[in-house]
Each structure stands twice: as C-alpha cells, then as structure tokens.
Amino acid sequence: MAEAAAPPAAAATATNYEVDLGNLMAYDPSHHLPAASSSREELRKECLRKGTELAQAVADALFALPATEDRDGPMVRLPPPTTRLPREKHLPRPKPPTKWEQFAKMKGITKHKKNKREWDEQTQTWKRTYGYDRVNDDKDIPIIEAKATDEPGVDPFAQRREEKKKRVDKQEKNRLENLKKAAKVGALPSHIQLAATALPITGTKADIPKKSRKKDLEDVAGMASSATASGGKFDEKLPGEKPPKNPGKHRQFLPVVEGKGMGNKEKQQNDKILNALLSKSSEDQMDVGRAITMYKVKKEKQRRKDKEKSSSSNKLKPQKKSLKKSSKKKA
C-alpha cells in the first residue's frame, strides 16, 4: 500500500520541491511540522518520512539523467549546481612577465627548443648541454692560448671562474627582482617565499656613524643648555628636562681653618707659590754660555752707540769734503 501511495505523492509534491541536482540537494520550503508531534520519536519518524520523499525527489531527477555504463556502474554527468558556494582561495593570478620576457617580446625573440644532448668534438662523445660533464664545459679546458692583450700576472683560469660566478650571481639577482615583482601582484608561486634577512644597509661599514652613547648625548645637551650669557640660568626648562649633568668646573673654596688633609691644602698651595718666587732670586745660577753672549751683545751695542755719536757730529758738512778736511785736520 505504501508503494502504491508513494509515487503519486511524489508526483504531486515534486513541483513544490526545489531540487539542486549539482549538489544532490532537495528542499521543501512549504512543509509545516504538525504541532502535535511533541515527542521526540514522533518527530524523528516525521522527519524520516519527509526525508525519504525528498531523497526520492533527488533520485528521480538523478536517475533520469542519461547514464553511461562504466566498469564500476552507471555514470551520470551532473549539471552545475544552482546553489553557489564561495571559493576556498582566490582565482590564480597571472604571473607578470619577467624583464627578459618583456624584452624578448619587444624584440620579437622567440624561444626555441634545444637538444638535450650534443656531439662533443673534443671527447668525440655525446654529452648533455648542461650540468656536470657538459659540452664545452669551461672547467674542462686544459689549455688557454695566450693573447697579445693578456696582462701578465693574471690567471686566465681563475678569471674564467670569476666571470662565471659573476654571471650566476647576476642571474640570481634578476630572478629575485622578477619574484619581487610577482609578489607585488600576489602571483608568487606557492612553493616560494620571500623572507627578509636583514635591514637594508647601504654603503660600507665605515660610512655608518658610530652609535652615540648616552653619556655623549647628555654632555652635548648640558653644553647646549648652558651656552647662553647667563649660563642657562634663566632659560625655560622643558617638561621633564633634567639639570645638566656636566655643568663645567666649579671654583673650589678651601677651608680657612688649618687642619689635616684638606685643611692643610691652602698652606701647601701658598708655600708652592712663595717658594717659586724666592727661588727665582736666590738660586740664580750662572750660565756661562749665556753670560758670554750677553757680554758680547752688550759690547756690540756700546760700539754702535759710539759710532753713531761720531757720525752725528759731522752731519752738517758734506761727506766728501769732511772726509778730506778731517784727514787734513788729523794730519
């Protein structure tokens, strides 16, 4: 009887059900639960009954689809779901072209496939074009012929190695730049991460100013604050500013009363000055060399004075005549 009742019921209510075959879902929006089904068991039975109807509705639609017979059973192709669900992740973003790709496109350079193996003339064998033991490997060259332009004292083998290293480093740098560009648009390959290693440091170590210490800064601040005519006495203090720690030298007043230690210091200082004064007059030792020069200088000065006196007396007369007359007179 149940079997007889089920198909017409399904047919009647099928129009009310919303069936989303893509998700194998059926929804009955019009169903009212009878309020009487207060007991749990009744509710369960009611739900099962309704659930069976809905499952039947899905099955009706599903088994009506054209099926292809597979080894494991009949296969059907599901229509796209009508209930749209959100994505898990964003759509894959296109990778921006690398700098070389841009350049190649501009110049019309197309990529062409190379053979993996090539004939090596030197060893007369087939070799790979890349990696260890490759064709035309720089490392395998036993002799490099000298050229006229060669500089003496330069190892050509070392030079080759260095050049190769430079090329590799450059390529690595370019790769990093391209990856950075890709990371900017969020198209970095998921297996690669760009990690910051250190803060950017420009220039050499000598360029970096030495880190000033706390004391240095305090000294400078103290000097600046006292660099006014009043020694910073009338300057307005900033909130939280502390008095300068190194305000400069103070005059030290020594105790007047005599005593031990500090009390004795004033006496010592005065003694020192007195001694210096007294010793200047008492211990005037004779410096022979200096005395001789002093004597000589004195004598020289005296002679010059005398000479001047004699010449000044003849000043009024003309020189030639005077010479003659004086000679006559003397004679």
Partner 1 sequence: MVAIRAPKSHRAKRELLKHAPKLVETGKKTLVLHGTKTSAVLNSVLADLFHLKRDNAVKYSKKNENIRPFESGGETSLEFFSLKTDCSLIVYGSHSKKRPNNLVLGRTYDHHIYDLVEVGVENYKSIESYVYDKKLAPKLGSKPFFAFIGEHFESVEELKHLKEVLLDLFKGEVVENLNLAGVDRVFVCTAISPTTVYLMHCALRLKRSGTSIPRMELVEVGPSMDLVVRRHRHPAESLKKEAMKTANHAKKMKNVTKDPVQGKLGKVYIPDQQIAKMALSNDIKGLKRERREAKKNKEHSKKQKTNVE
Q: Token match 């200082």: residue?
A: 269
Distance CA 178, CA 171 (A): 11
For 19, phi then psi, to 5°, come to -110, 120
Give yes or no for residue 259 binding partner 1 (CB under 8 A).
no
Which residues 291-320 are close enough to bind partner 1 by CB under 8 A?
none
Among the listed residues 8, 15, 66, 72, the single contact to partner 1 using CB under 8 A: 72
> Cβ closer to partner 1: 64 or 254?
64
Output the smallest distance, CB 242 to partner 1, in A.
Answer: 39
74 contacts partner 1 (rule: CB under 8 A):
yes
83 contacts partner 1 (rule: CB under 8 A): yes
**Contact predicate 26/57, CB 8 Å:** yes
Residue type, 195: A
Contact region for partner 1 (CB under 8 A) — 85-93, 95-103, 289-297, 322-330?
Answer: 85-93
What is the spatial distance between Cα 183 and Cα 175, in angstroms, rounded to a whole number?
Answer: 12
What dihedral angle (degrees, nearest 10) is formed by the CA atoms of 180, 183, 188, 191? Answer: 80
Site for partner 1 in 163-192 (CB under 8 A): 175-176, 179-180, 189-192
Which contacts qualify for 83-89: CB closer than 8 Å, 24 or more apart?
83/20, 83/22, 83/23, 83/25
Nearer to partner 1, 175 or 299 (CB): 175
CB of residue 178 vs partner 1: minimum separation in angstroms?
11
Overall residue count recorded for the chain in this entry = 331
Site string for partner 1, 39-68 (x = CB under 8 A): -x--xx--xx-xxx-xxx-xxx-xxx--x-
CB of 182 to partner 1, least distance (A): 11
Q: What is the CA radius of gyration of the chain?
A: 56
The rounded distance, in Å, linking the Cα atoms of 138 and 158 is: 11
- Strand duo 67-69 + 117-120: pairing: unpaired
In this complex, which beta carbon is closest to partner 1, that of residue 107 or of residue 113? 107
Cβ proximity to partner 1, 73 vs 243, nearer residue: 73
Task: Name the site residues for partner 1 (rule: CB under 8 A).
Answer: 3, 6, 23-33, 40, 43-44, 47-48, 50-52, 54-56, 58-60, 62-64, 67, 70, 72-78, 83-92, 175-176, 179-180, 189-200
